[in-house]
Amino acid sequence: MTHAVAQFAAIAATALFILALYWMNDPKTARRGVYAGVAGMAIAVVATWIQPEIVHHAWILLAIAAGFLVGVPLSRVPLTAVPQRTALSHSFGGLAAGLVGTAEYYLWLQEGPEHFTTFRMSALVAEVILGFLTFTGSLMAAGKLQEVRWIPQRPVTYPGQNVVNLGVLGAAVVLGVLLVRHPTAAWSGSVFPAVIGLALLFGVLLIIPIGGADMPTVISILNSYAGLAAVAMGFVLDNRLLVTAGALDGSSGLILSIIMCRAMNRSFTNVLFGAFGTVKKALVAGEQKVWKQESPEGAAQLLDQARLVVVIPGYGMAVAQAQHKVRELFDQLTKRGIAVKFAIHPVAGRMPGHMNVLLAEADIPYSALVEMDEINPEMPQCDVALVIGANDVVNPAARYAKGSPIYGMPIIDADKARTVLAIKRSKKPGFAGIDNELYVRDNTWMLFGDAKGVIGDLVKQFAGGGLH
């Protein structure tokens, strides 16, 4: 009876996971999707716990309590830290898979060789390699996003780096194959830790040459790795729920990675081995153009005279936590009958959907958010394009500068607007490491400063009667 209940619970949990992914496709049902995912996970834990073959040690309850003590504070991070928080979740998942695989291997060594079938041992090796490389890779990604002092945000490259990286991974795979063929050999006890060490090292080497501009794609790829590790763990433990949940996680991460690579017009190999983000100076033919600066008063007048304003948010808005001030500006403009739309680039920010989440937190109507492909045809009719902390996703060099690291990446056509107001903290380049020629265009005016402060000044001009 208990086994039947556990099987039914596993099916129910799988169904909830599928519904969670489906509902989170639409902002109107996203909250329902989150609840479904939480309920599915709770049922999955209980379904595993009640199975008769599970040993009910009291210390497992202590482990669950410890998980709550760590998880609850991590759930309260600011929205600007959600990308690195997501990377940490992937690292925990990878570590769990790696540790379970390690425990299973040494347990089988003690219990007898009958457990070491070729299939199960192959799954265990895959679980360990994927789990541990996801662990260190995700930690490195979180460190880059958090701008930890001892982890460089810029790509770290050296001659022959890709050969070294592939060599490390290849060595781990070769040793893994040896373990599959000879799992109980006298030397296996020293080879297994070597596989773990190489997987941990590869996770670090995989991430250090990748720049911050590629972090959204990297996070989704690591999500896929974590899901694949869970699938392998399900085969090792003969747990169908782990297999299905891991497959959902891995496939969704892979699909999202493909979508984001297409949004940047780049391939997986280019993201993982292209060292995107290497600092390069922009080459400007002829006379060096200068940045033209505008005051909040002048910018407010330009906005007040517009019929259509397109706001283009980026990571600078997230860092400044300016989304609520943006909402105030949105209210002031719409109150005056000015149409306001938000142009969303697929890779703006540091994680998929970053800008959507921030704007939703500020209660910006979702109907005002427009995807890149839909807004670009309207940009020539746009009176003012207000760029808030976005950089590479509006750089016209992506269209024609073949030597640029962003060449070929689809961008929001901000330069085609009649007037561009660009809010930027400094003249430093973005994460792609190149200057943005949009800022020196004849129709562009710069507003230097923290996005929250600059938008606040614009709001004051409207609310305080500064406009006549």
Mind telling me the catalytic residues? 392
Q: Which residue is listed with tokens 């049922």?
A: 43
Helices 451-463 & 323-335 angle (0-180, nearest 10): 30
- Structural contact between residues 325 and 456, judged by C-beta atoms closer than 8 angstroms: yes
CB-based burial, 86-112: b 16+ in 10 Å, e otherwise: bbbbbbbbbbbbbebbbebbeebbeee
Strand 339-344 vs strand 419-424: parallel, antiparallel, or unpaired?
unpaired
DSSP state, residue 24: T
Tokens of 284: 């400007």
Show Cβ contacts of residue 7 under 8 Å, excluding neighbours closer than 6 positions: none
CB-based burial, 338-368: b 16+ in 10 Å, e otherwise: bebbbbbbbbbbbbbbbbbbbbbebebeeee
Strand 308-313 vs strand 339-344: parallel, antiparallel, or unpaired?
parallel
For residue 463, what is the enclosing H or E element? helix 451-463
Backbone φ/ψ region at 16: left (φ over 0), alpha (ψ -120 to 50), beta: alpha
DSSP state, residue 439: G
Task: Quote the CA–CA distance of 104 and 113 in Å, as a whole number.
Answer: 12
